[in-house]
Amino acid sequence: MKDFTQGYDYARLIEEEKQHYKDIEITDDLKEAGGHANDAWHRYWIDVHAEIERWSPGGIAAFLKTRFQNLGRPIRILSLGSGYCGHELDMARAIGLPSVVVCTDINDALFGQARAAAEAEGLNFEFRMADLNFIEIEPGTYDVIFAHASLHHVINLERLFAGVEAGLTPQGVFHLVEVVGKNRKLIWDVNERFANATLACLPDSITGGLRVDVPVDADGMEGVRQEDILPLLRERFFALYELRHGAFIRFVCTHPDLGRCFDPAVPDRRRALEFMFACDWAAVRNGILEALEIWGVYIPKAARAG
């Protein structure tokens, strides 16, 4: 299969990736901090999880527990690009069944706190350094392959999707939480204009007159081929469930200044935040704007046909 990394200064990109995540701020539960940890963004994800609950009460953990409760052995979970492993720890705790979780990342220095947490809680975790552009996934091995916001850093998407498809057991599922918008920027220009028109509907006493202005990110592998994620996913996988969401709201809620303008603890600012949520959801549901984010559970098309 073609190696697309040969078209890039790959050694430089890898070094930029490692440096970026080496010093990033993280929360106590080992997730990305900064704008992603503020109250406005957390409030948005309450709505996202409410949508997911309509499909599977209890969310992904309840779905996996039901699907694999009679497996007769520990569930084998592979996480792609695990970073600090906070999401993987949450999943292992919530499933409540014996499991083996294999975390992978190109920067194994990120695993320290998760390794300590897993040992302290008696969770069966393995930690492996791996480059997702070249990872070798053992065929027919994993009941769950999980990727949380890691595929938009991958250049060899074709190779990785083929490996995921082959690596699943007959009942196995691919669980993906990802951003899927414009390369190197994520938000499409029309989405950005829509966001700013929506912000203009609110008084400056709420927004401070601030607007969304997203630069292109040319460093590392951030968003390097994210426009290709959905088309390539569709070629190999069938969605058991897929929630497409987030036309622009990420860039409002995680903005270092705008995000603080929409404090959900303050009544008028919460109303303004809910207005922004409603516009965002409506734009996606009515096909006005392309969603920038997906939350999905997939099986290989070959498994469905069988």
In terms of Cα–Cα distance, which of 289, 286, 170, 163 is closest to 232? 163
Q: Which domain holds residue 173?
A: 4-305
Query: Which residues neighbour 275 within 8 Å (Cβ) at sequence distance 6 or greater?
Result: 198, 201, 202
Q: How big is the chain by its Cα radius of gyration, in Å?
A: 19
Start-to-end Cα distance in the chain: 25
- Exposed (0-12), middle (13-18) or buried (19+): which is 64, by Cβ within 10 Å? buried
Two structure tokens written together for 242: 């897929």
Query: Following DSSP, what letter does each residue of 132-143 receive, concatenated?
Result: TTT--PPTT-EE
**SS3 assignment, position 296:** strand
> Which pLDDT tens digits describe the chain residue by residue (306 residues)?
999 999 999 999 999 888 888 778 899 998 988 878 899 999 999 999 999 999 999 999 999 999 999 999 999 999 999 999 999 999 999 999 999 999 999 999 999 999 999 999 999 999 999 999 999 999 999 999 999 999 999 999 999 999 999 999 999 999 999 999 999 999 999 999 999 999 999 999 999 999 999 999 888 899 999 999 999 999 999 999 999 999 999 999 999 999 999 999 999 999 999 999 999 999 999 999 999 999 999 999 988 776
pLDDT reported for residue 12: 93
- Exposed (0-12), middle (13-18) or buried (19+): which is 113, by Cβ within 10 Å? middle
pLDDT reported for residue 306: 64
CA-CA distance, 157 to 163, in Å (whole number)?
10
- How many domains does the chain fold into? 1
Two structure tokens written together for 108: 């194994």
CA-CA distance, 182 to 223, in Å (whole number)?
8
CATH number of the structural domain spanning residue 79 = 3.40.50.150
The DSSP bridge partners found for residue 184 are none
CA-CA distance, 131 to 115, in Å (whole number)?
19
CA-CA distance, 39 to 30, in Å (whole number)?
17
